[in-house]
C-alpha cells in the first residue's frame, strides 16, 4: 500500500547548521502533509552513552544541579524546531537517543522506518569532525533512506 504520509528525522544539536536543518525539515514536513495524510517530524538529539566528566567535577567549584542545566539546554536546543513546527502545524516528536551520533541516528531511522533524514552539514563537534570525519557524510553513506544535507 502506498503511504503518502512521511516520517522525517532531523538531527539537532543547537548549532546554527542544525537550526537551519530543523527549519528545512519543518518545510519538508509541511509540504508533504495534506488533510488526509499527515507527516511526522522527529527531532532527535544524540547524547554520549556515558556522561563524560567535566572540569568542574574535578575542581572545588560549587556543585550545580545537572538536571536543571540539562532541562534549560534541552529547551534551547529544541526551541527552533518547536517554534517552526508550531507555526507550520507540523506534528513533532522530540526524542533523545544515546550512542555515537551516526550510529544512533541510523538505528533510530531503522526503528521508526523514517523516509528521510535531514541533517546539517556541520554541527557542534568540529574538533571531532577533524579527527573522525563528518557525521553527515557517514549518515549519507550508510542510511537506507534519503538524506538531505543542509548547508
Per-residue pLDDT at 132:
57
Per-residue pLDDT at 148:
95
Per-residue pLDDT at 25:
96
Tell me if 137 is assigned to some domain.
Answer: yes
Query: pLDDT below 70 — which residues of the chain?
Result: 1-4, 35, 50-68, 123-133
pLDDT tens, 101-115? Answer: 999 999 999 999 999
The answer to pTM > 0.75 is: yes
Domain with residue 111: its CATH number is 3.40.50.620
Identify the burial level of 92 via C-beta atoms within 10 angstroms of its C-beta, where 0-12 means exposed, 13-18 middle and 19 or more buried. Answer: buried
Tell me if 17 is assigned to some domain.
Answer: yes
What ranges make up the beta strands (E) of the chain?
7-11, 40-47, 91-98, 116-120, 146-150
Q: Residue 8 pairs with which residues in a beta bridge?
A: 41, 116
Domain that holds residue 121: 7-51+62-150
Per-residue pLDDT at 61:
47
CB of 10 within 8 A of CB of 25?
yes
Based on the structure, what is the number of domains in the chain?
Answer: 1
Under DSSP, the state recorded for 89 is T
Tell me if 1 is assigned to some domain.
Answer: no
CA–CA–CA angle 114, 118, 121 (5° rounding) = 145
pLDDT tens, 38-47? Answer: 899 999 999 9
Amino acid at each position: 500500500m502506498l503511504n503518502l504520509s512521511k516520517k522525517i528525522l532531523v538531527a539537532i544539536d543547537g548549532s546554527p547548521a542544525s537550526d537551519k536543518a530543523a527549519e528545512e525539515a519543518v518545510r519538508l514536513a509541511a509540504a508533504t502533509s495534506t488533510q488526509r495524510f499527515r507527516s511526522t517530524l522527529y527531532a532527535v538529539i544524540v547524547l554520549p552513552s556515558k556522561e563524560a566528566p567535566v572540569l568542574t567535577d574535578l575542581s572545588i567549584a560549587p556543585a550545580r544541579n545537572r538536571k536543571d542545566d540539562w532541562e534549560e539546554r534541552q529547551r534551547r536546543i529544541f526551541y527552533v524546531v518547536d517554534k517552526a513546527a508550531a507555526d507550520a502545524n507540523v506534528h513533532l516528536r522530540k526524542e533523545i537517543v544515546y550512542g555515537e551520533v551516526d550510529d544512533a541516528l541510523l538505528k533510530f531511522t531503522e526503528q521508526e522506518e523514517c523516509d528521510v533524514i535531514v541533517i546539517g552539514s556541520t554541527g557542534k563537534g568540529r574538533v571531532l569532525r577533524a579527527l573522525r570525519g563528518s557525521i553527515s557524510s557517514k549518515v549519507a553513506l550508510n542510511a537506507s533512506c534519503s538524506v538531505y544535507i543542509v548547508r
